[in-house]
A and B are shown apart, each in its own frame.
Chain A
Amino acid sequence: MSDAPDGIDGRSDNVDDPTPDGGHAAATPSTHTVRLELVDEPGQLLAALHPIADNGGNLLSIYHERGNKTPRGRIPVEVDFEATQDRFEEIVDALRTEGVNVMQAGTERYAEEVTLLLFGHLIDTDLSDTLSRIEACESASVADVSLAAPQGTEEVSSARLRLEARAGETETALAAVRELADEKELRLVEPLTGVEA
C-alpha cells in the first residue's frame, strides 16, 4: 500500500489494509529505517545503536556511509531494524535524548515516492516556476525531473517528475500538482497510487 521503497511502513497499524500481506496489528513488528548523522569519532556508532537495542528494536542492517559526508561534515548512517510502532517511537525519542541527530525516521520525512507525468506547453508556462511551486508545497519535494521536448521548446513537451512526499501526504501532494496543472492548462498523468502490486 504505502509506496515506500525503503521499507518504511508508517501504516503498520492499519488493520483495514486490504492487501493480502497487510492487516498487521499494532503489536506486529515491522521494518523501520532511520538515517542518523554521526560525528566522525570512535564509539559514536555504538552509542547510537544502544538506544535501539535497549528499547526492543531488532537490528537488521547498518549502512555506514564513511565516504559520504553531510554538509556539516558528519557521517550519515542508515539503520534498519524491526520494532512495533510504539517501540519505534520510543526508539526515536531515546536516540534524540542521547544526542544522536536523527535526519529521517520512518514516517517523519519523505517516506513516499511518487512519479507522475506532465505534458503540454511546459516551457511556455515556465517549467521552473512550476517546479518551484510544487517544491513550495509542504507535502512534497521534487526529487528528479526529466524533460522531453522533441519538437522544440515552443511545441508540446513532456516531463516526468519524481516527488518525495511525506508519509500519508501523497494525495495532498498530487492534489497540489493537479491544481497547478489546471491553472497552467497542462495535462497531468497521475500514477495509480496504492495499486502497484
Chain B
Amino acid sequence: MRLAVIGAGAVGRSVVELAGEHGHEVVAVADSSSAVVADGANGPDGRTPGVDPDAVVARKAERGIVGDGDPEDALAADYDVLVEATPTTLGDADPGFSHVTRALERDRHAVLANKGPVAERFGDLRAAVADSAGEIRFEATVGGAIPAVSTVEDIEPGHVTAVRGVLNGTANFILTRMAAEGLDYDHVLAEAQDLGVAEADPSFDVDGTDAALKCVILANVLSFGAVDDPADAREFTLDDADVEGIRDVPGSTLRLAAEDGRTVRLIGEATGETVRVAPRLVPENGTLAVSGTQNIVQIETTHAGRLNISGRGAGGPETASAVLGDVGRLK
C-alpha cells in the first residue's frame, strides 16, 4: 500500500519509519507547516519510489519540517491509504476530520490515530464511508498497541455486552505510584512530568478526557456494529460520557483501599448505551489493576466469556504498529 502520513509527531514519525518493515511505501508526509511528496517520475517502472524515511525523520528533528513542500501537496498525492496522525481535536475534530473525508471523497482509505473524528463525528464519518469506495480504520485510537477495536469486530459488536478497562497510562502511572509509595497526587504528577509520562498540562489525561474519548469510540463501534442500518444506531460523543478524573483523589483514599486488599484505577466502561469513566475500586491483584503506564482492555461477550488484553497503551512505535496493522487489513 502507498501511504500518505499526515502528522509528524511521535506516531506519524514511527509510521514513516516502520512502514517498510510491514511491506508498505510512504509516498507523502506532512506536518502542520510542511510536506514531502515522493517524485513518482524518478521511480522504476513508473512506480513511486517512496520518500526516504530517514531523511524525513532527520529533517523533522533538525529543522522542524518534514520537507519543502506544502501540506496540501501531501493531501493531493497519489496514495492508497491516508494515515491521519495529527493531534486530537474536539468539537468539529478538524483538521483531522477533513483530511479523512477528503481521502474518502477520492475513494481512498483512511487509517486514524487521531481520536477526534471517531469520537466526535462518528456518524458523519460513517456517512462519508457509505458514499466512498474507501474504508476507515482506527485501531490506534484505543489502547495504543492493544487490538481492542479489531477484537470487538472479530467477536462482532452485537455479541459484545461491554468493554471496560484502563485506557490512560498517565493516570494509571500516577495512581500506581500514589498507592505504592503513599505519596500525594501533586508529588507524583511532578515526577511523571519529569519522566515524560505526563505532559506539562496533564488535564486531558488526569481529568479522564482521553480515557473517555476512547470509551466513546468503543461505544460507537458497539452501537453502529450492532445494527444493520446506521440510522438506527445511537451516536456517541464526548458529551454523552459521564467522566470523573483522578486529580483530587487523596493519598488517604488509596491507603484505605490498600488496607482492604484493593486499589483504585481510572476505569472506563463502554456499552452500546452508556459511557462512563471514573476512579473505581478494584482488587489489588485483580486483572484490571495493571501497574505503571500499562493499559488493559476487558471485553465482555455473550458467548465467549470475558477477554482481557493488556499492553502498552501509548508510544510512537506501539501506536504505529496498530496503524500499520489496520493498513494490512485494508484491501
To the question of whether A and B form a pair in one complex, the answer is yes
Residues of chain A touching chain B, judged by Cβ–Cβ distance below 8 Å, are 18-20, 115-117, 119, 146, 148-150, 156-160, 187, 189-192, 195-197
Q: Check A196 against B283 for contact (C-beta < 8 Å).
A: yes
A117-B257, A150-B251, A189-B264 are known contacts. Are A18 and B281 too (CB-CB below 8 A)?
no
B45 interface contact, C-beta 8 A: no
B203 interface contact, C-beta 8 A: no
Scan B242-263; emit 1 where CB is below 8 A from any A CB, else 0.
0010001111110111011010
Scan B287-303; emit 1 where CB is below 8 A from any A CB, else 0.
11000000000101110
Q: Check A196 against B306 for contact (C-beta < 8 Å).
A: no
Task: Return chain B residues, CB-CB under 8 Å to A187.
Answer: 244, 248-249
Q: Check A18 against B264 for contact (C-beta < 8 Å).
A: no
Q: Check B252 against A189 for contact (C-beta < 8 Å).
A: no
Interface of A is mostly: strand
Scan B220-256; emit 1 where CB is below 8 A from any A CB, else 0.
0000000000000000000000001000111111011
**Which residue from chain B places its CB closest to the CB of A155 in the assembled complex?**
B250
> Shortest CB–CB separation between residue A72 and chain B, in angstroms?
33
Residues of chain B touching chain A, judged by Cβ–Cβ distance below 8 Å, are 161, 164, 244, 248-253, 255-257, 259-260, 262, 264, 267, 278-283, 286-288, 298, 300-302, 305-306
Task: Return chain A residues, CB-CB under 8 Å to B305.
Answer: 18-20
Q: Check B281 against A189 for contact (C-beta < 8 Å).
A: yes
Task: Return chain B residues, CB-CB under 8 Å to A156.
Answer: 248, 250, 252
Q: Check B164 against A192 for contact (C-beta < 8 Å).
A: yes
> Shortest CB–CB separation between residue B178 and chain A, in angstroms?
12
> Shortest CB–CB separation between residue A36 and chain B, in angstroms?
30
A-B contact pairs, 24 of them (CB 8 A): A18-B301, A20-B305, A117-B257, A117-B264, A119-B252, A146-B259, A148-B252, A148-B253, A148-B256, A156-B252, A157-B252, A158-B255, A189-B253, A189-B257, A189-B264, A189-B280, A190-B278, A192-B282, A192-B288, A195-B282, A195-B288, A196-B286, A197-B287, A197-B306
Give the top 6 A-B pairs by smallest Cβ distance, nearest first: A148-B252, A158-B252, A158-B253, A160-B256, A191-B281, A119-B253
Task: Return chain B residues, CB-CB under 8 Å to A117.
Answer: 253, 256-257, 264, 281
Task: Return chain A residues, CB-CB under 8 Å to B253.
Answer: 117, 119, 148, 158, 189
> Shortest CB–CB separation between residue A90 and chain B, in angstroms?
33
> Shortest CB–CB separation between residue B230 and chain A, in angstroms?
27
Which of B244, B252, B278, B301 neighbours the largest number of chain A CB atoms within 10 Å of its CB? B252
Task: Return chain B residues, CB-CB under 8 Å to A197.
Answer: 287, 306
| Pick from B161, B251, B283: contact of A18, CB under 8 Å | B161
**Which residue from chain A places its CB closest to the CB of B262 in the assembled complex?**
A115
| Pick from B164, B257, B259, B260: contact of A195, CB under 8 Å | B164
Complex-state Cα separation, A79 to B255, whole angstroms: 36
> Shortest CB–CB separation between residue B40 and chain A, in angstroms?
53
Task: Return chain B residues, CB-CB under 8 Å to A119.
Answer: 248-250, 252-253
Complex-state Cα separation, A24 to B106, whole angstroms: 54
Q: Check B260 against A18 for contact (C-beta < 8 Å).
A: no
> Shortest CB–CB separation between residue B116 and chain A, in angstroms?
28
Complex-state Cα separation, A30 to B305, whole angstroms: 21
Task: Return chain A residues, CB-CB under 8 Å to B244.
Answer: 187
> Shortest CB–CB separation between residue A111 and chain B, in angstroms?
20
> Shortest CB–CB separation between residue B287 and chain A, in angstroms?
7
Q: Check B279 against A192 for contact (C-beta < 8 Å).
A: no
Complex-state Cα separation, A157 to B250, whole angstroms: 8
A19-B305, A187-B244 are known contacts. Are A146 and B164 too (CB-CB below 8 A)?
no
Task: Return chain B residues, CB-CB under 8 Å to A115.
Answer: 260, 262, 281
Q: Check B282 against A191 for contact (C-beta < 8 Å).
A: yes
> Shortest CB–CB separation between residue A127 and chain B, in angstroms?
14
Q: Check A148 against B306 for contact (C-beta < 8 Å).
A: no
Complex-state Cα separation, A115 to B284, whole angstroms: 13
Complex-state Cα separation, A115 to B287, whole angstroms: 18
Task: Return chain A residues, CB-CB under 8 Å to B278.
Answer: 189-190
**Which residue from chain B places its CB closest to the CB of A146 in the assembled complex?**
B256
> Shortest CB–CB separation between residue B122 and chain A, in angstroms?
26
Complex-state Cα separation, A176 to B294, whole angstroms: 33
Task: Return chain B residues, CB-CB under 8 Å to A192.
Answer: 164, 267, 280-282, 288
Complex-state Cα separation, A189 to B47, whole angstroms: 58
